[in-house]
Amino acid sequence: MSQLTVSGKTIEEAVEKAILELGTTKERLSYRVLEEPQKGFLGFLGSKPAKIEAYVKPDPVEEALYFLEETLEKMNIKANVSKSLKGDINKFEITGPEDVGRVIGKRGQTLDALEYLTNLVANRQKESYLRIELDAENYREKRRQVLIQLANRVANKVRSSNEETKLEPMNAAERKIIHAALQKERGVQTYSQGQGANRHIIIAPK
């Protein structure tokens, strides 16, 4: 049962009944008032109860998961999606015997786009932000290690030449990895430059 009409002496009582009958919580319940309660003659003759129409709000994580699975199917990608919760981050892991490279795309661009759209679906009806992170065959960790190695290699070059070096454009998450990797490194400093898709990091002598 996903939707029902409930009556009670007051709207609050009708809401409590709906919560029990639908087996949900007050946060997940949505309702509209069909009839306000009315007191009759002498307080009881001809009185009318409150009436509401109630339903359970969709689970945003389940909606996002369904969207991702449907999208992968429309892309003709055979893959499985598993979900887990780490802290306040909902992680969707995409695995499959084939086509996983298509999910990732060049430098993770397809994966990032899917992650962005999945987060839009999850948060379209939520008041507080819900974060979902997509990964495929542990790509995120592998990419993080590559970026850390790149940061250290370029930092050594900058220290030797005493000249700044511009890295290729990266998204905010990847720039954050570079900044963090060199935050405590002696003799170099990092800062971002550029706008939008062209925003990149400069590693400079300090």
Domain that holds residue 47: 3-56
Asked if 126 and 66 sit in the same domain, the reply is yes
User: How many other CB atoms are there within 10 angstroms of residue 146's CB atom?
Assistant: 13
pLDDT of residue 43: 57
pLDDT of residue 42: 59
Instruction: Give per-residue pLDDT as tens, 93-118.
Output: 998 867 778 899 888 889 999 999 99
Give CA angle at 25 (22, 28), nearest 5°.
90
pLDDT of residue 195: 92
- Domain with residue 179: its CATH number is 3.30.1370.50
Low-confidence stretches of the chain (pLDDT < 70) are 1, 40-46, 97, 126
